[in-house]
Amino acid sequence: MVYVENKPGVLTRVASLFRRRAFNIDSLTVGRTEKPEVSRMTITVDADRDQARRIEAHLYKLVNVLLVENITNQPAIVRDLALIRVSATHDARSHVLELASVFRARVVDVSPESLTIEITGGEDKIDGLLEVLRPYGILEMVRTGIVAMRRGSKSNGNAVMDSTAQSAANDDVSYSV
């Protein structure tokens, strides 16, 4: 998770860093937070521990980056959202509806030939639904990429947010490499 100043061009800076240093981004989401001056990115990268440390160090070199948290091994809520249009003609329709309900997904659009299903959850759960829907014929699919939040009442992120944009650099978040 990367907390950045909400300024023009910051997304480009972060994306450019990954390209420039040849790290592959699996997914990147960015959005507003409870503080208007802070945006939050959730970036998924396939990297070993050393690479992850270097990515973190490189991110910190970007002047607009406030805080980086590697939550790979942290208890966290991780959510991805997918919209799946699946072929569902007369015979298959009830099966598809059944599968959707097993996965606690919602049907958000119905047409004579297809159903559009919205599902939210961890990446595995969405992968699971896709797997079982595939035999029916997936006509269209889009995923948001994951957003994440650490579990518990306190996080370093809160420290950054509380101290506002003037003093994000608190001692708690010093990192040793």
Distance CA 13, CA 153 (A): 31
Burial class from Cβ neighbours inside 10 Å (0-12, 13-18, 19+) for residue 137 reads: middle
Among positions 24, 101, 158, 167, the unique one binding another protein when judged by CB under 8 A: 167
Q: Specify the residue, 4 or 43, whose C-beta has the smaller distance to another protein.
A: 4
Contact of 56 with 68, CB cutoff 8 Å: yes
By CB under 8 A, is residue 60 in contact with another protein?
yes
Residue 63 DSSP class: T
By CB under 8 A, is residue 90 in contact with another protein?
no
By CB under 8 A, is residue 24 in contact with another protein?
no
By CB under 8 A, is residue 74 in contact with another protein?
no
- Minimal CA–CA distance to 84: which of 68, 63, 107? 107
Q: Specify the residue, 5 or 118, whose C-beta has the smaller distance to another protein.
A: 5
Determine the interface stretch with another protein among 55-63, 73-81, 94-102, 125-133 (rule: CB under 8 A).
55-63
Distance CA 154, CA 94 (A): 44
Beta bridge partners of 107: 117
By CB under 8 A, is residue 48 in contact with another protein?
no
Among positions 25, 62, 78, 132, the unique one binding another protein when judged by CB under 8 A: 62
Please report how close the Cβ of residue 40 comes to another protein at its closest, in angstroms: 13
By CB under 8 A, is residue 22 in contact with another protein?
no
How far apart, in Å, do the first and last CA atoms of the chain sit?
Answer: 18
Site residues for another protein per CB under 8 A: 4-5, 8-9, 12-13, 16, 20, 50, 53-54, 57-58, 60-67, 164-171, 174-177
